[in-house]
Chains A and B, each alone.
Chain A
Amino acid sequence: MKTRALPLLIAAATSMAVLAACSGGTKAGSGGGSGGSKTLTLASIDQGSVEDVVKAFEKANPGVKVRYTTSGADQYQQQIRTQLSSGTAPDVMSVWPGNGNPGATYVLARPGYLRDLSDRHWAARMPEAIKSVAQYEGKTYTAVFGQNGIGAVYNEQALAKAGLTPPDTWTKLLDFCRAAKAKGTPAFALGNQDNWVTQLVQYALVATTVYGDDRDFDEKMQAGQATFAKSPWLTALDKYVTMERTGCFQKDPLGTNYEASQGLAATGRTLGIIQGNWVIALLEAKNPKGRFTLRALPATDDPSKTLIPAAAGAGYGVNAKAKNEELALKFVDFVMSPEGMNLFVKKQGGLPSLSDTGFVANPSLAELSGYIEAGRTVPFMDQLWPNAKVQQTMLSGLQEIFSDQSTPKKLLAEMDADYRAGS
């Protein structure tokens, strides 16, 4: 028995070794993937818009082939980190601005995974607010092509039917909510079951209450001179709770998901939704005859002080170890050219990050464009936070406040503790 077992054992071991070698080879092949110098690899989160940009890029560069994958943000963040740490990442990849999420500029640039793009012609032309989140230690790493804003997106037909007009002060906002509720159509849809949605109303209120009187709040936080708990963040959070208690939102926001909230606003079962401008395209898809307009959400009784959270959207970075660096740079340059940029923002329903692209904004976004031009915007709050935990604590905490498991004070103290833990 033993003499016969030996050859079998060797055979089995050899086959295992072959198997291991094969699998290793396949992995390297699919990751590096490019082969000839005319192929570019790309991983993107811009599903639904990157396709057109890739097509236009291939057309402008005959013979070039872009091999790309698209995925949702959660899945993408998981995939790109694994690929970067194992040396199998694509040449160009989606990168979020600033800090605060696992695929953000600071997070990926710090260990040296991104190529410095400061030498590109567009790098110096980005507006200051965007530069601050596209750069890490003074060098530009992310090609940010679009900006987004958060506000109240109104269903114009539903508004007309209810005979109400969008409020421009805090007092009028609460009156608006009461009047809407009395007519049986709540003012705003809120899909707080998906925890990322919980932050949007809060950001819209924080923009004015916190930054209206103190544009340097972030610098003070970074220097340890301010805290969430002892700042107007508490006022904003109280206002959020007041809105809920006044009946500004439909019943059971915690049992309503993002998808369901869109349905409510699109079909006029609420008068609007507090969301980012990206929701407009989704509302139009659900109700092609509907007309939707984004307006600033007031948080004080002085309309001239109202600010909108508007910030750089996710852009593209180049792998520091790109297999085809030349083509990768060509691609990000194309994304930042008027043609590429306009293609992207038109499809996504946002606004371009550079001013001179000749882009004609969707009339729904006229107010947002005006605020951006007038400099009455502040970045999304999480983009300058030192780690991803602060935001996650806020998202779960807001759900807990809505379900009476926590209080605004307790949440802000927890966010302070996470902020102080640093990067």
Chain B
Amino acid sequence: MTTAPHEQLSDHARLPDAEPVPRVRGRARTDPPWWFALPAVLLFAFVVLVPSVRGVYYAFTDWDGLDPHFSFVGLDNFSELFRDPDATQAIRHTLLIAVSITVVQNALGLLLALGVNSAVKSRNLLRVLLFAPAVITPIVTAYLWRNLLGPDGAVNSLLGAVGLDGLRQDWLGSPTVALWSVVGVIVWQFAGYSMVIFLAGLQSVPKEVHEAASIDGAGPVRRFWSVTRPLLAPALTINLMLSIIGGIKLFDQVYALTGGGPGHATDTLSTLIYKDAFTLGEFGYSIALAVVLTIIVAVVSTGQYAVLSRNERATS
């Protein structure tokens, strides 16, 4: 998540009116030597890559996380995954949540960004307030919402107070509503995050271009569509990438809000991995699930990036 601002900066640097980088000591500007990256790559390899790859081996075993004696079971865990209704349901929920979050959070983020980018009086205060939920630990906001969304919680009380009793719900206890409550909580928390990235994009749009378009007779909608939208493409790419990856990997908010319940109505791949490993002691199987999760993240994010970067090139 923290990489976003840096990527944003590099996008700024590519804007047409960016200053050319001055030459250093008369030498042509070149990329730094490859071995500058070596310590970081080695650290990454030792801490992340090697353990991860070694861990994948266990996906092909029946290891219970405890017993040093276990056997190699080939692809059994993977074929079991497709027969396990809990797993297929969790994959469905994961994708549903990821897509919903990506769409709603970014639509809302963009609207908020457009709002606070205008000349409203208290825009600085609004920016801070809207971004504030994003800096709170997800587990804290989840527990907060767990209470707000209870049968006698603030949300139902508020609905009752304004005469909307018909809309009172068992927000986290009803299998048809719970998943959307989870999505709502995440959107509430991270819409401000998307907003900030869009806002940075918006502020890099040169005023002159807007003024020129106005003189040419373009209204606000036309100006947004033909001027702002193309220049926001890099911000959109970053936002969509971050929210889809975050959505697919989602764990803490779901676990704290509903624990995957009622029943399995809000189980995602991540909550299922946790339960299979640590509650049921089926480590081999849960690592197989984790491998599938990794593949889904890789495929979806690569595909999305390919589409979005083509879109960026087309609009720039």
Residue numbers of A with Cβ under 8 A of B are 1, 5, 8-9, 12-13, 15-16, 19-20, 74, 77-78, 81-82, 84-85, 101-102, 107-108, 110-111, 113, 192-195, 250-257, 260, 387-389, 392, 396-397, 399-400, 402-403, 405-406
User: Contact between B263 and A257 (Cβ–Cβ < 8 Å)?
Assistant: no
Question: Nearest chain A CB to B280's CB is how many angstroms away?
Answer: 5
Chain A residues with CB below 8 A from B66, complex form: 81, 84-85, 102, 107-108, 111, 113
Chain B residues with CB below 8 A from A405, complex form: 175, 262-263, 265
Question: Nearest chain A CB to B49's CB is how many angstroms away?
Answer: 13
User: Contact between A193 and B35 (Cβ–Cβ < 8 Å)?
Assistant: no
Closest to B283 in A: A81
Q: Which 9 A-B pairs have the closest CB atoms?
A: A254-B173, A255-B173, A400-B263, A252-B151, A399-B262, A255-B170, A252-B170, A111-B67, A78-B278
Chain B residues with CB below 8 A from A20, complex form: 46
| Docked complex Cα distance between A85 and B259 (Å) | 27
| Docked complex Cα distance between A388 and B279 (Å) | 7
User: Contact between A399 and B261 (Cβ–Cβ < 8 Å)?
Assistant: yes
Question: Nearest chain A CB to B65's CB is how many angstroms away?
Answer: 5
Closest to B176 in A: A403
Known A81-B65, A405-B263; contact A193-B172, beta-carbon cutoff 8 A: yes
User: Contact between A110 and B67 (Cβ–Cβ < 8 Å)?
Assistant: yes
User: Contact between B278 and A77 (Cβ–Cβ < 8 Å)?
Assistant: yes
User: Contact between B65 and A257 (Cβ–Cβ < 8 Å)?
Assistant: no
Chain B residues with CB below 8 A from A19, complex form: 43, 46
Question: Nearest chain B CB to A199's CB is how many angstroms away?
Answer: 13
Known A388-B279, A392-B275; contact A12-B261, beta-carbon cutoff 8 A: no
User: Contact between B68 and A107 (Cβ–Cβ < 8 Å)?
Assistant: no
Determine whether B94 belongs to the interface, using a CB cutoff of 8 Å to chain A.
no
Closest to A263 in B: B152
Chain B interface mostly helix, strand, loop or mixed?
Answer: loop
Question: Nearest chain B CB to A241's CB is how many angstroms away?
Answer: 15
| Docked complex Cα distance between A403 and B152 (Å) | 18
Known A392-B280, A403-B265; contact A5-B33, beta-carbon cutoff 8 A: yes
Kindly supply a per-residue 1/0 record for chain B positions 168-181, scoring 1 wherever the CB is within 8 Å of any chain A CB and 0 otherwise: 00111111000000
Known A257-B150, A396-B261; contact A102-B281, beta-carbon cutoff 8 A: yes
Closest to B257 in A: A193
| Docked complex Cα distance between A363 and B223 (Å) | 77
User: Contact between B262 and A403 (Cβ–Cβ < 8 Å)?
Assistant: yes
| Docked complex Cα distance between A372 and B65 (Å) | 37
| Docked complex Cα distance between A396 and B260 (Å) | 9
- Size bin of chain B's contact surface: 35 or more
User: Contact between A9 and B35 (Cβ–Cβ < 8 Å)?
Assistant: yes
Chain B residues with CB below 8 A from A107, complex form: 66, 281
Kindly supply a per-residue 1/0 record for chain B positions 222-262, scoring 1 wherever the CB is within 8 Å of any chain A CB and 0 otherwise: 00000000000000000000000000000000000011011
Closest to B66 in A: A81
Closest to A78 in B: B278
Determine whether B149 belongs to the interface, using a CB cutoff of 8 Å to chain A.
yes
20 A/B residue pairs, CB under 8 Å, sorted by A = A8-B35, A9-B35, A12-B42, A16-B39, A77-B279, A78-B277, A78-B278, A81-B278, A85-B66, A102-B66, A111-B68, A113-B66, A193-B262, A194-B259, A195-B259, A252-B151, A252-B173, A255-B174, A403-B174, A405-B263
User: Contact between A16 and B174 (Cβ–Cβ < 8 Å)?
Assistant: no
Kindly supply a per-residue 1/0 record for chain B positions 144-178, scoring 1 wherever the CB is within 8 Å of any chain A CB and 0 otherwise: 00110111100000000000000000111111000
Closest to A17 in B: B46
Question: Nearest chain B CB to A166's CB is how many angstroms away?
Answer: 26
User: Contact between B258 and A193 (Cβ–Cβ < 8 Å)?
Assistant: yes
Kindly supply a per-residue 1/0 record for chain B positions 43-69, scoring 1 wherever the CB is within 8 Å of any chain A CB and 0 otherwise: 100100000000000000000011111
Determine whether B38 belongs to the interface, using a CB cutoff of 8 Å to chain A.
yes
Known A397-B263, A405-B262, A405-B263; contact A256-B173, beta-carbon cutoff 8 A: yes
Determine whether B264 belongs to the interface, using a CB cutoff of 8 Å to chain A.
yes
User: Contact between B170 and A254 (Cβ–Cβ < 8 Å)?
Assistant: yes
| Docked complex Cα distance between A256 and B38 (Å) | 53
| Docked complex Cα distance between A389 and B46 (Å) | 35
| Docked complex Cα distance between A260 and B143 (Å) | 12
User: Contact between B172 and A255 (Cβ–Cβ < 8 Å)?
Assistant: yes
User: Contact between A193 and B279 (Cβ–Cβ < 8 Å)?
Assistant: no
User: Contact between B281 and A403 (Cβ–Cβ < 8 Å)?
Assistant: no
Question: Nearest chain A CB to B155's CB is how many angstroms away?
Answer: 11
Chain B residues with CB below 8 A from A193, complex form: 172-173, 258-259, 261-262
Chain A residues with CB below 8 A from B150, complex form: 255-257, 260
Closest to A396 in B: B263
Chain A residues with CB below 8 A from B33, complex form: 1, 5
| Docked complex Cα distance between A411 and B39 (Å) | 54
| Docked complex Cα distance between A252 and B155 (Å) | 15
Question: Nearest chain A CB to B209's CB is how many angstroms away?
Answer: 44
Closest to A113 in B: B66
Chain B residues with CB below 8 A from A102, complex form: 65-66, 278-281
User: Contact between B68 and A254 (Cβ–Cβ < 8 Å)?
Assistant: no
Chain B residues with CB below 8 A from A392, complex form: 275, 279-280
Kindly supply a per-residue 1/0 record for chain B positions 271-297, scoring 1 wherever the CB is within 8 Å of any chain A CB and 0 otherwise: 000010111110000000000000000
Closest to B33 in A: A1
Closest to A387 in B: B280
Question: Nearest chain A CB to B181's CB is how many angstroms away?
Answer: 10
Closest to A1 in B: B33
| Docked complex Cα distance between A42 and B216 (Å) | 77
Closest to A79 in B: B278
User: Contact between B39 and A256 (Cβ–Cβ < 8 Å)?
Assistant: no
| Docked complex Cα distance between A5 and B38 (Å) | 10
Known A193-B173, A399-B262; contact A111-B69, beta-carbon cutoff 8 A: yes
User: Contact between A253 and B173 (Cβ–Cβ < 8 Å)?
Assistant: yes
Kindly supply a per-residue 1/0 record for chain B positions 64-92, scoring 1 wherever the CB is within 8 Å of any chain A CB and 0 otherwise: 01111100000000000000000000000
| Docked complex Cα distance between A209 and B67 (Å) | 37
| Docked complex Cα distance between A387 and B64 (Å) | 12
Other than A1-B33, A8-B35, A102-B280, give 8 A-B pairs with Cβ distance below 8 A: A82-B65, A102-B66, A193-B172, A252-B151, A252-B170, A254-B174, A388-B281, A396-B263
Question: Nearest chain A CB to B283's CB is how many angstroms away?
Answer: 9
User: Contact between B281 and A254 (Cβ–Cβ < 8 Å)?
Assistant: no
Chain B residues with CB below 8 A from A254, complex form: 170, 172-174, 261-262
| Docked complex Cα distance between A251 and B174 (Å) | 12
| Docked complex Cα distance between A252 and B279 (Å) | 26
